[in-house]
Structure 1
């Protein structure tokens, strides 16, 4: 079992001129668990990860791995494996890329073949990266993060570009790393991409924390709701307001905090609104996530 190292984010703020990208974030990522770092595109996830890895300086607050900032780690690649905006020389083979990275970090050369085996790329070791699919580049990026056998993994959108088989593989792989006692932080803009692999969630919107806790707690909060839509959403929203029904805007209509579609449909009827969709959500988890990020808070 690997000794766990937590990630601690405390009062973290980053401003770019008049724009606040990260706003007073505080949360902890625990060892032995996979934590999903979630939020829509532009929520501040990547900026937060860059602050954690010392690629940006915070305006205020701290981001530490254990008790240390990334820049103060003596052998950073043996503590943290991170994949953010991975870049590869298209003319190098996968093995050559990993050998260059290992040599630069003072990591033994035979570790290269070990990580190629771990991520299922041994047969592609001599192929040039320029011919790789996006999914294969994702695997190579993951192999790079594992070179130092780190106790902390920080991965930005790791399932992007993977086919269903690849997504299933990486879910099991990340969970296996967590079961060894490692700290695993995975960012995504979609809960559906990571919900089968994460234990905890940290959800941000507009740079601010809107939810932090276990996935099971979020599932408990996903109470039944009703989706309704109309060619005239403005009139529909007005009808729901008149009926005193609370709602948020989802991908396929308005999501109403009412489990009985008949009640919602009656509100539309009273308001004289044409309805194009009306149904109860079978699972409200993804919609609860969308309501959190669209509302910017609880």
Structure 2
């Protein structure tokens, strides 16, 4: 378990992180979502002690804190951050990189060959990384963190440069690591993908962490909360509010209309669907608000 307690970071008089207090538990995947420059990387760097917060502290397993160099070494044996592609050495092979990371964290060396096979890297893993494509380098960075086998894993844009097949593959590996009791914190802009596997998702704004479920109650549950409509013209929206005056309607900047149907029974829901069909609106879905919807509502309001 890792706890952030009253973490504050200020740069040039501006709050990058403001009194952030949260716990991340074993066997949990945490998603961090926000536009660039809003504090995601800063938060991870504080967890790694690469940035010293102006106030607050990081606590690992209820006891360990960054109070001295000895404790920092202990924490870094349990917490790792996925390397960046700029950290790779072009002249040595991918397998050598994996051996270095396995040695640094004293992990089981059998994990190296297993990870190579699991990520489909066998055909190029013994070649110098300078010959790798963007996607191959990204998979190697991910593999390096996996072979470190730490209790807590931090990943900033882990899916960057990957094709859909490898995005899905890495997502499956993350879920597997979660089942092993790892705490995984992922910052990502691939919202549809993140929504599939993250247990809790936080938005970041004005230096604060906001749990998605607080913005949209019931988001984490599998229940019908929303009818999403594409291309609903203004005159139809006006007519809709007359026919259904008690129903909340939200229009997003991306031309999606969200109709809030939380608590509606099948009869009430049927009336709304019938209205949409009568007005030749066929591009709609019944389910729940998506993470993309919430992102648009929270960060791109007009």
Q: CA deviation at 1:164?
A: 1.5
Contact 1:81–1:146, Cα closer than 8 Å, also in 2: no
> Which whole-Å CA distance do the structure 2 matches of 1:181 and 1:114 have between them?
19
1:21 counterpart residue number:
16
1:271 counterpart residue number:
none
Structure 2, unaligned runs of 5 or more: 262-268
1:12 counterpart residue number:
7
Secondary structure at the residue paired with 2:73?
coil
Name which of structure 1's ranges 141-150 and 207-216 shifts more when overlaid on structure 2.
207-216
Please say if 1:34 is aligned against 2:36: no
Secondary structure at the residue paired with 1:8?
strand
Q: TM-score, normalised by structure 2?
A: 0.73
Contact 2:251–2:258, Cα closer than 8 Å, also in 1: yes
Question: Residues 180-191 of structure 1 correspond to what in structure 2 (within 5 A)?
Answer: 180-191=180-191
Question: Residues 151-190 of structure 1 correspond to what in structure 2 (within 5 A)?
Answer: 151-190=151-190
Instruction: Map Cα deviations across residues 187-217 of structure 1 (whole Å, 9 max, x no partner).
Output: 1134212122222222222322221569994
1:79 counterpart residue number:
78
> Which whole-Å CA distance do the structure 1 matches of 2:77 and 2:217 have between them?
32
1:251/1:18 Cα in 2 relative to 1: closer, same or farther (>3 Å)? Answer: farther
1:249 is aligned, of 237, 249, 252, to 252
Secondary structure at the residue paired with 1:160?
coil
Aligned residues: 280
Contact 1:225–1:281, Cα closer than 8 Å, also in 2: yes
Q: CA deviation at 1:66?
A: 2.3
Secondary structure at the residue paired with 2:43?
helix
Q: CA deviation at 1:124?
A: 2.0
> Which whole-Å CA distance do the structure 2 matches of 1:228 and 1:115 have between them?
42
1:108/1:172 Cα in 2 relative to 1: closer, same or farther (>3 Å)? Answer: closer
2:226 counterpart residue number:
224
Please say if 1:146 is aligned against 2:146: yes
Q: CA deviation at 1:34?
A: 1.7
Structure 1, unaligned runs of 5 or more: 1-5, 265-276
> Which whole-Å CA distance do the structure 1 matches of 2:65 and 2:148 have between them?
18
Contact 1:78–1:149, Cα closer than 8 Å, also in 2: no
> Which whole-Å CA distance do the structure 2 matches of 1:21 and 1:173 have between them?
32
Q: TM-score, normalised by structure 1?
A: 0.74
Q: CA deviation at 1:29?
A: 1.4
Q: CA deviation at 1:168?
A: 1.4
Please say if 1:46 is aligned against 2:47: no
Q: CA deviation at 1:114?
A: 5.3
Q: CA deviation at 1:55?
A: 1.1
Contact 1:191–1:289, Cα closer than 8 Å, also in 2: no
> Which whole-Å CA distance do the structure 1 matches of 2:24 and 2:239 have between them?
43
